[in-house]
Structure 1
Amino acid sequence: MMSTPLPDPLRVAVVEDQPLFRSMLERMLDESTGLVVVASVGTVTEAARALQPGVADVALLDIDLPDGNGIALGVSLRRRQPDLGILLLSAHDAMDLLLDLPLDVAAGWGYLSKNSSTSEETLLTAVRAAAAGETVLDPALLDRVTPRAGSDVARLTARQYEVLRLLASGLSNAGIGQRLGITEKSVQNHVNAVYSTLGIDVDPARNPRVSAALRLLEGTGPAT
């Protein structure tokens, strides 16, 4: 499936109530090639006022804000701007919140934990993937889950499950191939097998990578 070219520069809004963490995010994003911070605020009220449709391409939203929560804010922003990418940040390690999103806004959301995702590369990958309409999950948290017995995810081979986790972490097929030391064609074959096992239709109107990431969330639980 062809991906839509991202705007250059990619406009990012930050909604985070902790001033120090917010300034760190601003600096990291502004110093990254192809990204620019266009708004930086600390509350739902300020965000609703600042993030008018068309201002940003992707919004980083802290889930816990002093006057509300980032999930409800993200739903509101997405319904005003359907192509806005949303990346949630939280200290509570609750990726499964993405499973409760309303269906009309469920694509193009990502989730990173403040406790585990300290890598600049991880953050930037997630920002760009969210802007492209993909669902990105925290790679460190994915390392802590295993397939649930009886789930479709449990039917995947070890290599297919590995490919699915990397896909859900926001890596492209080329990036997955580099990580695993296999060809991009081999990665695509594994991805197709994952879609088949999980019953995901490759529909041009829907992003199968989003569906695969959400099925991964549904079919896994904490490692024992």
Structure 2
Amino acid sequence: MRVVIAEDLVLLRDGIARALAAHGIEVVGCVGDAGALVEAVASLRPDAAIVDVRMPPTFTDEGARATLLLRERFPDLGVLVLSHAIDPQLALELAARAPRGFGYLLKDRVIDVAAFVDTVRAVASRQTVIDPEVVDRGLAARRTPLAQLSGRELEVLRELARGQSNAAIAGTLFLSERTVEAHLRSIFLKLDLPPDTDSNRRVRAALTWLAEQP
């Protein structure tokens, strides 16, 4: 089994390489940025790549974008993504493109070398492995009321929570008032806010938005 490692922290990269080698896995390439990762995979054709989410030059999502590219160009490549932060949405997006042969682990939770090596082997053999903490966080997020709303509906609700009228929302989002009204009807329905005489749906919807903001 042959693996390429993409990690900008040299000590961590070398540590991963030594751990894999000690368990009989051949490390054919070690790189420090996303561009070099893509080049290494194209030329070396490994069975799997271990990819840090954040790499030079901006340390934001270079590894994630490289992963999407690799999954498209090399569908048989197993990819194990390592991240410092819990990002269920990113894990879901990366896995949704091609769930087989994909893994997502939190660096801080990798405390057993043998288990880590087993995960690398599993991903290379076309299995899917996602850190349970990421799964739990993602399921919790999906249970929130706002998770049902579309991106545009969230924008409309955000403006409503700021106290904007339908006309003002339409102007801010470059929509017609009729479209805003349609989005609001959908929002009220999804948030289970039927018309009644005791409370204002707009206020209750705004409170739902505010309750879920960090």
Give the residue type in structure 2 aligned to 1:126: T
RCO (CA 8 Å, sep 6+): is it higher in 1 or 2? 1
Q: What is the percent sequence identity of the aligned residues?
A: 32
Evaluate the alpha carbon distance shift between residue 137 and residue 101 of structure 1 in structure 2; reply closer, same or farther with a 3 A threshold: closer
Give the residue type in structure 2 aligned to 1:19: V
Q: 2:56 aligns with which of 59, 66, 70?
A: 66
Distance 2:85 2:21 in 1: 26
Query: Is 2:78 the counterpart of 1:85?
Result: yes
DSSP-derived class of the 1:25 partner:
helix
Q: Looking at secondary structure, tell me which structure has more helix per residue.
A: 2
Evaluate the alpha carbon distance shift between residue 121 and residue 102 of structure 1 in structure 2; reply closer, same or farther with a 3 A threshold: closer
**Is there any run of 5+ residues in structure 2 with no aligned partner, and where?**
144-214
Across the two proteins, how many residue pairs are aligned to each other? 140
Give the residue type in structure 2 aligned to 1:58: A
Query: Is 2:39 the counterpart of 1:46?
Result: no
**Is there any run of 5+ residues in structure 1 with no aligned partner, and where?**
1-9, 152-224
Q: Deviations over 1:29-68 (max 9, x none)?
A: 11113x1101100001111221116620000000001135
* Stretches of 4+ aligned residues off by more than 6 angstroms: none
TM-score (norm 1): 0.56
Q: 1:17 aligns with which of 3, 8, 17?
A: 8
Contact 2:87/2:134, CA 8 A, preserved across alignment: no
Query: Is 2:20 the counterpart of 1:29?
Result: yes
Q: RMSD of aligned C-alpha atoms?
A: 2.7
Q: CA deviation at 1:109?
A: 1.0
Distance 1:42 1:125 in 2: 24
Evaluate the alpha carbon distance shift between residue 39 and residue 147 of structure 1 in structure 2; reply closer, same or farther with a 3 A threshold: closer
Structure (1 or 2) with the larger CA radius of gyration: 2
Q: CA deviation at 1:133?
A: 1.3
DSSP-derived class of the 2:42 partner:
coil
Distance 2:138 2:49 in 1: 30
Give the residue type in structure 2 aligned to 1:46: A
